[in-house]
Structure 1
């Protein structure tokens, strides 16, 4: 697939990586729409397993923030990385990212929290590396909706695609004849109630 086509926002699954950012227990009572973004993130994690798309997970300062929430199955992740940096791109994560997709990663699907801190800083570093970044709006949150929405606008300004869980998964499928189409479709049959999470 040519880079020109990818520049319009398609997601070739063999050149795509999912990055799950800091969806940890400590944020549960603090972040807006936390339960809703966990529900969307769960679909992304399950889909990554079904579609054999690499998943990388970060956890911010485990002793303070706790582990990734139990609702998310990350057993198939290529790596789970503790960090203190306010970006996902630690040396270990960057090294692993470079090795995935036979060293040919082109697109990154980014989701988690907080949108205005680690998601934004990670996206900026990924864009600087020349990667296409898809930020999943209905699977990203912050402690306030104001910070979250302004971050999504800034992410657009640096060239990220702002998208939804369903859009990402159908782009990864690409064709109704995909052997995993029915499995992915079944993940999406129970849509989340409208929350305003995709408002920009």
Structure 2
């Protein structure tokens, strides 16, 4: 069976929302643009039935997930909403929900519950929680797509260093729009109208996020 490689297309997507909380609004570089990208992906996750995993960091002190995202954190595709003290999202609660796999496991969708995930991650901070989550998922045999227009840090300069490290570690650094159309794969799919309409409706927000986050 084929090993999981970066060259393969997305087959088993999951969306990880990392610590996008209220108290971080004044501290994170271009936080509102990160929120807009995350909202777009969350809106698409429902028609595409992409499993969603959400974390907060010390919710009692740092606040709940931001209000813009809360309306989209319901439904059977939302698999976890976990508060944590670990920096990584791969907490015991979330790890228990992930497929058991290995770095050499097959990425064939017919292989059942052991199919590695194609984890799409947005959130903060790029060099801390996003990095540690990505490294843990890679070590477990999953692929990780770090959304360049959907991650940030307090210090702008941390982003580029972290993204370069994660790319070297085996993660795929890409954009939200590229991911959505890769998941769709075919304009004949029933979900195409909803997703393409969402992309059109968020065109200006996407451009704004790309302008600040993707000059790499």
Q: Same fold (TM over 0.5)?
A: yes
TM-superposed deviation, 1:79: 1.1
Counterpart in the other structure of 1:199: 215
Asked whether the 8 Å contact 2:116–2:143 carries over to 1, the reply is no
CA distance in 2 between counterparts of 1:122 and 1:197 reads: 20
Matched, 1:17 2:28: no
For residue 70 of structure 1, report the CA deviation from its aligned partner.
1.0
Q: Counterpart in 2 of 1:129? A: 140
Residues 33 and 141, structure 1, Cα contact 8 Å, conserved in 2: yes
For residues 6 and 44 of structure 2, the distance between their equivalents in structure 1, rounded to whole angstroms, comes to 23
Partner of 1:139: 150
Matches of 1:195 and 1:19, distance apart in 2 = 23
Distance 1:171 1:78 in 2: 22
Does residue 173 of the first structure (1) align with residue 184 of the second (2)? yes
Counterpart CA distance in 1 for 2:99 and 2:62 is 27
**1:52-67 to 2 correspondences below 5 Å:** 52-67=49-64
Q: Which moved more, 1:183-192 or 1:33-42?
A: 183-192
Match of 1:45 among 36, 42, 45: 42
Give the root-mean-square deviation of aligned CA atoms.
1.7
Aligned pairs, number: 196
Partner residue, 1:26 = 23
Deviation at 1:102, TM superposition (A): 3.6
Cα separation, 2, equivalents of 1:169 and 1:199? 20
Name the larger-Rg structure.
2
Alignment correspondent of 1:71: 68
Shift in Å, 1:107: 1.2
Task: State which of 194, 202, 213 in structure 2 corresponds to 1:183.
Answer: 194
Cα drift, residue 74 of structure 1? 1.2
* Structure 1 stretch displaced more, 175-184 or 101-110: 101-110
2:127 is matched with 116
- Would you say the 8 A contact 1:149–1:199 is kept in 2? no
Q: What TM-score, normalized by structure 1, do the two folds share?
A: 0.92
Structure 2 residue corresponding to 1:104, chosen from 115, 119, 129: 115
Q: Distance in 1 between matches of 2:83 and 2:114?
A: 23
Structure 2-normalised TM-score?
Answer: 0.86
Q: Secondary structure at the residue paired with 2:54?
A: strand
Q: Secondary structure at the match of 1:135?
A: strand
Q: Deviations over 1:28-71 (max 9, x none)?
A: 11001100010000011111111001000011101111000110
Deviations 1:108-157 (A, max 9, x none): 11111110000000101111111111000101010011011211111111
The whole-number CA distance in structure 2 between the counterparts of 1:106 and 1:71 is: 26
